[in-house]
Chains A and B, each alone.
Chain A
């Protein structure tokens, strides 16, 4: 069941086209990553979903309600990019406040802060928190009341590597319980392993929207076979495979997905000439660059 649906959404800011004909949906239990260069329109899309910014045309449905409606806001939690809180409130007071706004028992604040590792700083003013600690307060408030849809704008920015892992563990758990998650990010490697689908925006256009495997197939980027030859055989190997010699022992061969097995058997036939072989699929960075470039060309 789709909990978030955007169809042909367009948004202009005077001369800038922030979003152009974007269609995207997120279903129950699905984690979708929204990628794109600075100014691609990620935050704009997210603000439209929350009803904070009005779109010019197209349709948006948030948990079967119009964006910004009371029903939509009740079912959705949000983490803004560069989340900010009043510096003179403590973390505990701030979370209690958000619990009350969602008509939840404010005594749950301690448990939420513990969940994001802030129990020791709970009674300190947010003005004294580090950037990552503020981000965690933002995460804690987004976890309130088992939302059906979570919309997170660069949720891991400012978090240390351990906290990032913990964050994705929490996301997995929520998605397991059916929460639909839309998150924007610049951290390609974490998104690669931790989300179900990747949507790439480029200059306001949705240029890709698929699983990682699907993106790989569509991009058809060459696979790299890194061969380590035995000493003094590198030239011979490079010649026989028409590969590229990089140094005394290393030879690189690139091939398409379809030719992969054929190339591998050619390499295997060289037998003793080969010391080792490594297969390197196109990285998410390569994929990202491929799709981003495609969309950026006028």
Chain B
């Protein structure tokens, strides 16, 4: 444990020096500000408080942004150390590879958490300024925060696995971006196309919900929207997903980070110099 903390302290320092802390905080803050400005128009007809509506739009934002930032922070973790030549020495120390990876995860998750916290807080302040009832939406915001961390952990783990498997920063970056595109963008488009073609058949009834839960980003969206008052504000896929109990989506969000980290640790163990 001490060694994991030593690794994470050092990783945090490196990320701070590389401006990763600043970049991710500024990015999240900027998007939250834009969202709040866009959502400041009166929306009384939805019947939800301002904060709940903000949470709904933050959810659809976080689904893209959190995985992206997580992949950008993690793709270099192993490949970068191989390229710089710093890995051999680290591996000669009495620290296990899982401890090294866990230390990196702790640091990166901390930075991601900081950025998300700043971004969401800005959005929450804006909502409170516009609506006295905004406190009703607080539980949804808190839920959004910790599920965002879970989503971040999934993609950090995936990033480490990619980094350890490719062993080259260039290839790792390429594969990471491709994965982001497939898992976050194309997956949903594909499902949507299938649902449209199926027009309410067995696929839509029995296969589609499972495919949705199986994707961590969709599970994240489902869990937050199904538990939220403002489902109507988000629309889209959410309507079709009402059939899925929220606990399944949550289970997916908990299993994914563990699976991704296990995969990354296994890939890292295979790395020889």
> Which segment of B89-97, B154-162, B187-195, B203-211 sits at the interface?
B89-97
- Are A86's CB and B86's CB within 8 A? yes
- Are B9's CB and A97's CB within 8 A? yes
**Secondary structure of the B contact surface, majority rule:** helix
- Are B93's CB and A102's CB within 8 A? yes
In the bound assembly, the distance between CA atoms of A103 and B3 in angstroms comes to 8
In the bound assembly, the distance between CA atoms of A101 and B17 in angstroms comes to 21
Q: Could you say which residues of chain A place their CB within 8 Å of the CB of B10?
A: 86, 89, 93, 97
Residue of A nearest to B19 (CB): A88
The yes or no answer to A268 lying at the interface (CB within 8 A) is: no
Residue with the greatest number of chain A CB neighbours at <10 A, chosen from B13, B91, B94:
B94
Contact residues, A209-262 vs B (CB, 8 A): none
The yes or no answer to B18 lying at the interface (CB within 8 A) is: yes
User: What 1/0 flags go to B245-273 for Cβ under 8 Å of A?
Assistant: 00000000000000000000000000011
Count of B interface residues, CB-CB < 8 Å: 24
Q: Could you say which residues of chain B place their CB within 8 Å of the CB of A85?
A: 86
Known contacts A101-B3, A101-B6, A103-B2: does B94 contact A74 (CB below 8 Å)?
yes
The yes or no answer to A207 lying at the interface (CB within 8 A) is: no
In the bound assembly, the distance between CA atoms of A102 and B17 in angstroms comes to 25
- Are A52's CB and B13's CB within 8 A? no
Residue with the greatest number of chain B CB neighbours at <10 A, chosen from A53, A70, A88:
A88
Q: Could you say which residues of chain B place their CB within 8 Å of the CB of A100?
A: 2-3, 5-6, 9
The yes or no answer to A60 lying at the interface (CB within 8 A) is: no
In the bound assembly, the distance between CA atoms of A112 and B96 in angstroms comes to 25
Report which of B84, B86, B92, B95 forms a contact with A78, defined as CB distance below 8 A: B92
Contact residues, B44-103 vs A (CB, 8 A): 84-86, 88-89, 91-96
Q: Could you say which residues of chain A place their CB within 8 Å of the CB of B88?
A: 47, 52, 78, 80
Residue of B nearest to A82 (CB): B85
- Are B273's CB and A101's CB within 8 A? no
In the bound assembly, the distance between CA atoms of A121 and B137 in angstroms comes to 53
Residue of A nearest to B100 (CB): A101
In the bound assembly, the distance between CA atoms of A138 and B92 in angstroms comes to 13
13 additional A-B pairs beyond A53-B272, A97-B10, beta carbons within 8 Å, are A52-B91, A84-B85, A84-B86, A86-B14, A89-B10, A93-B10, A97-B6, A100-B2, A100-B6, A101-B93, A102-B93, A103-B2, A138-B89
- B residues sitting closer than 8 Å to A (CB atoms) are 2-3, 5-7, 9-10, 13-14, 17-18, 84-86, 88-89, 91-96, 272-273
- A residues sitting closer than 8 Å to B (CB atoms) are 47, 50-54, 70, 73-74, 76, 78, 80, 82-86, 88-89, 93, 97-98, 100-103, 125, 138, 141
